[in-house]
Structure 1
């Protein structure tokens, strides 16, 4: 897999990698990026500007136990899926191509799934509350 990735990274800057062995990932809206980065300063994060999404790399197998409701509807993908992963040195925005907000480094660190899910749920609740008309905030 490493040669496959290196070949694609050198020619296109990204490689489509299978998930489930080295990592799973959580898809979240772009507005979650800063909060995730602040709460989990070692977590690997990929930004997808074209789709205004971020991918948070998590422990392989997380998708098997991920609870959509607990995570505010954010999806976790695992075995049998793929992720478009930027080259390790692509850490700045170039057009709409994916890039690392924070690359995984030599010793990948994954955020605890339950803490990540709780954070994403809270962020989604905050957005939903902010979208309510002003008169619905009153009791």
Structure 2
């Protein structure tokens, strides 16, 4: 790893750790587990969406830090976004009452929680209005509910 890359990751780590009231707490967890549970609402809020819909938003040019956790993406947005977020089906805005599992900056590949889009060293966040617009355009309708009963399945004992 080059000195420039190492310096960049150190700046990103410092910025992310500042979300914790005790930044050393985050550093200890990243050193031991490569993951830290950090409070939402101090340095960023988060927008939680299923990975398919989130990938469609990214394909539309959404930029900024994104955490991937199995079939879910978390877009890091400015603090206070949760208070102004217009509800969208299948999308949840997370604020000060939440914690988020945040991978260390070096964790950029699965398996497990990782950065889908690594933050930049300046702490640039995802812009909420373009994100909301992109998620609205990529709405994936839910599948219809299954019928209340099926033919050929279990039968009434009469």
Q: Same fold, TM exceeding 0.5? A: yes
The aligned counterpart of 1:106 is 121
More helix by share: 1
SS of match in other structure, 1:31: helix
Question: Does the CA contact (< 8 Å) of 2:62 and 2:131 recur in 1?
Answer: no
Matched, 1:79 2:130: no
Alpha-carbon distance between aligned partners in 2 of 1:22 and 1:74, rounded to the nearest angstrom: 20
Question: Does the CA contact (< 8 Å) of 1:63 and 1:76 recur in 2?
Answer: yes
Deviations 1:58-100 (A, max 9, x none): 00000011111xx344111011211000011100112xx1000
SS of match in other structure, 1:32: helix
- Which of 45, 64, 79 is residue 66 of structure 2 equivalent to? 45
Task: Give the superposition deviation at 1:38.
Answer: 3.0
Q: Mind listing any 5+ residue stretches in structure 2 that lack a counterpart?
A: 1-19, 145-158
How many pairs were matched up? 123
Alpha-carbon RMSD across the aligned residues, in angstroms, is 1.8
The aligned counterpart of 1:23 is 44
Question: Does the CA contact (< 8 Å) of 2:47 and 2:77 recur in 1?
Answer: yes
Q: Mind listing any 5+ residue stretches in structure 1 that lack a counterpart?
A: 133-139
Alpha-carbon distance between aligned partners in 2 of 1:82 and 1:103, rounded to the nearest angstrom: 19
The aligned counterpart of 2:134 is 119
After the TM superposition, which of the residue ranges 34-43 and 7-16 deviates more from structure 2?
34-43
Question: Does the CA contact (< 8 Å) of 2:49 and 2:90 recur in 1?
Answer: no
Distance 1:121 1:25, change over 3 A: same
After the TM superposition, which of the residue ranges 110-119 and 84-93 deviates more from structure 2?
110-119
After the TM superposition, which of the residue ranges 20-29 and 100-109 deviates more from structure 2?
100-109
- Structure with higher Rg: it is 2
